[in-house]
Amino acid sequence: MNPHPDADAAGMLEAAAELRVLIGQLTRRLREQSQVDNLTNAQKAVLIHLERDGRATLSALARAEGMRPQSMGAIISALSGAGLVESGPDPADGRQRILSLTTEARESISASRAAKADWLYRTIQSKLTPDERERLPGAIHLLKRLLEP
């Protein structure tokens, strides 16, 4: 049993605060490498949804993102205008349009992920010692455990 539980709690609170700040800084650095970061968070969410789950109607996207169809319509309009989303007729309901990513969007998402991974790899190689690089998978494992239910 630890004779200083308050000191442990204070240390963990300090570590948690520092981890939150560091994750925010890392996220910003990775975002700087992205080629799709001129998009709003809502636009990115739609692109990620379409990439992950495939084609969808505007109303299905609105439900999935928890917004009104009119708001989703504005997002889709902007993404279509940027050449990132295309639509075609819904074979099951002629009144609906099915939305999907364009080839340009898929290529942009892929290039953005590759640029982020490349930056992170180069940064790890240049900033961490061989011993630190060897310990990194263990730290990653601990971070993953924080996200477990």
Specify the pLDDT at position 79: 96
Specify the pLDDT at position 125: 97
Threshold 0.85, pTM exceeds: no
Low-confidence residues in the chain, pLDDT < 50? none
Q: Cα–Cα distance between 5 and 30 in angstroms, integer? A: 37
Specify the pLDDT at position 35: 65
Specify the pLDDT at position 62: 96
Strand order in the sheet with 56-57: 56-57, 93-101, 85-90
Neighbours of 127 (CB within 10 A): 9
Q: Cα–Cα distance between 121 and 103 in angstroms, integer? A: 27
Specify the pLDDT at position 93: 81
